[in-house]
Amino acid sequence: MIPDEVTLKSVCVYCGSADGIPPSYLDAARQMGMTLARRGVTLVYGGGRTGLMGAVADGALAGAGQVTGVIVESMNTHALAHDGLTHLEVTATIHQRKARMYELADGYIALPGGYGTLDELFETLTWAQIGVHEKPVGLLNVSGYYDALLEMLDRAAAEQFIFAEHRQALLCDSDPERLLEAMLKHQPAREAVQRWMRR
């Protein structure tokens, strides 16, 4: 079977917006943004200026990259919204925001974050599991942040809560370049989707 060609013209990055986090996470987010810019990949993200959100956008902008932010109206304030983006879209609700970010991207990467990041990551994975999309989904596992989560997913697969193919579909690396290369080689788990939907 000839592998499908994956095109990554834009990547949606999910990540935390909290300040006061260890500098290593901010450095990794900036590196992620710079890597996307160097490859000519548009960054799509939540439009914020704080935490990893601000760092990934600043990294892409520093590399002369294109950055599209999508922010909910209640967060479109001077304190929270990035004012230097290529393009900023404002939505009325958080659900519209997530749907628009999903729509704009050819792939998805989660950097370290909290509830919002995990919500976005697992929603995107769930949609792939049921065949809504076939786009690659990756984790940038900075400083082992997601090690415990990956162990939990391994257990879920071992105990048959998820198919092995769906577990393997979540790509993971600590290096932005290697993660993007893995995403370009992504093969959708179509047979597993069909099995899942027949259950």
- CATH topology classification for 10-198: Rossmann fold (3.40.50)
Picking from 9-13, 52-56, 68-72, 160-164, which range would have the lowest pLDDT averaged per residue?
A: 160-164
How many whole angstroms separate alpha carbon 197 and alpha carbon 199?
6
What are the Cα distances from residue 118, in Å, to 13, 62, 86, 126?
Answer: 12, 27, 26, 12
DSSP character for 162? S
- Please state, in angstroms and rounded to a whole number, the distance separating the CA atoms of residues 52 and 166: 27
Residue ranges covered by each domain of the chain: 10-198
pTM above 0.85, yes or no: yes
Q: Which of 148, 196, 189 shows the shortest CA–CA distance to 172?
A: 148
Task: Kindly report, residue by residue over 124-162, the tens digit of the pLDDT.
Answer: 999 999 889 999 999 999 999 999 999 999 999 999 999
Residues 6+ apart with CB under 8 A from 168: 189
**pLDDT tens string 32-45:** 999 999 999 999 99
Tell me, what DSSP letter sits at residue 161?
S
* 108: enclosing H helix or E strand: strand 107-110
